């Protein structure tokens, strides 16, 4: 991102949590328009809290949340959705009794909505499911529908929480590259949480790692992919450094994730 370019998303001094108790503290993060950023970390690190707060489901405790340079932290969720901020939640939040086509039509009622044919170019596997109810779809099909529903409104910012949850790795390998296509073809800024770290780093431009609510590592995704020990230390609680060799200090013990195939 050039010095003059305004990021699609910027968090500065971001603090978020529940009932006034911080879960995420002092986070600085940026996502460029057309960029793909992975937010990584062990279970309980604060990743979901971060995405949900950006989407307006929780009020931030402190700090700035800016989209295209505009502060959005005081806006309700429905206005953020209208402004082009789409969240694909971990639960997928589908209506089991509605068909795929009905989900897409409900989500695409605006003037700028993506046409069904354009959406199917991005997600061709949904075509065979259009008349089927969401409740009978496979896990991979449900996830594609959840992403497709978020894309119908041509979002400026797409937030995706654990796309791979409950899915076989071979399905994840087909789904994650969709995020890259969305960024490149629609100019959408993408921030996604993912447990399959090597796959996430193949798709992302940049990555941040949270540990116990604090940012402990960030860097170019390709560079981090070449430093698995650096990533592992940030997850497992050893002293970590950033991609430039700076040491932010010791990190407390945390649970692991799927780093190089390990749990």
pLDDT higher at 59 or 239: 59
Q: How far is CA 145 from CA 69, 75, 112, 130, in A?
A: 30, 27, 19, 10
Provide the pLDDT for residue 1. Answer: 55
Provide the pLDDT for residue 252. Answer: 31
Q: Give the number of C-alpha atoms closer than 13 A to the C-alpha of residue 213, restricted to the C-beta side.
A: 13
Tell me: pLDDT of 219 over 80: yes
Provide the pLDDT for residue 231. Answer: 85
d(CA 72, CA 97): 34
Tell me: pLDDT of 159 over 90: yes
Model confidence over 52-93: pLDDT tens digits?
A: 999 999 999 999 999 999 999 989 999 999 899 999 998 888
d(CA 85, CA 56): 9
Average pLDDT, the chain: 86
d(CA 69, CA 173): 33
pLDDT-based confidence at residue 4 (cuts at 50, 70, 90): low
> Average pLDDT in the 130-146 region?
93
pLDDT-based confidence at residue 172 (cuts at 50, 70, 90): confident
Domain limits, CATH 3.40.50.300, in the chain: 1-84+155-263
pTM over 0.95: no
What architecture is domain 1-84+155-263? 3-Layer(aba) Sandwich (3.40)
């Amino acid at each position: 991102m050039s010095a003059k370019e305004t990021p699609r998303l910027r968090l500065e001094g971001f603090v978020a949590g529940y009932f006034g108790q911080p879960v995420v503290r002092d986070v600085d993060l940026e996502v460029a328009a057309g960029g793909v950023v992975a937010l990584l970390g062990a279970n309980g690190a604060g990743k979901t809290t971060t995405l949900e707060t950006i989407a307006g489901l929780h009020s931030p405790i402190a700090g700035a949340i800016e989209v295209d340079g505009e502060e959005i932290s005081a806006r309700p969720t429905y206005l953020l959705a209208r402004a082009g901020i789409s969240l694909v939640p971990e639960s997928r939040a589908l209506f089991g009794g509605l068909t795929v086509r009905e989900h897409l039509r409900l989500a695409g009622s605006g003037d700028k909505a993506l046409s069904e044919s354009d959406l199917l170019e991005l997600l061709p596997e949904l075509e065979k499911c259009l008349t089927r109810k969401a409740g009978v779809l496979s896990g991979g099909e449900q996830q594609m529908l959840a992403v497709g529903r978020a894309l119908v409104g041509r979002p400026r910012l797409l937030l995706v929480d654990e796309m791979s949850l409950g899915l076989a790795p071979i399905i994840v390998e087909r789904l994650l590259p969709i995020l890259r296509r969305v960024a490149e073809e629609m100019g959408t800024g993408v921030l996604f949480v993912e447990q399959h770290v090597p796959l996430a780093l193949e798709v992302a431009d940049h990555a941040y790692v949270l540990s116990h609510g604090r940012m402990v590592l960030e860097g170019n995704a390709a560079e981090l992919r070449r430093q698995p020990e650096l990533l592992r230390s940030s997850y497992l609680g050893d002293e970590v450094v950033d991609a430039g060799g700076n040491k932010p200090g010791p990190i407390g013990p945390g649970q692991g994730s799927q780093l190089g195939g390990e749990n």
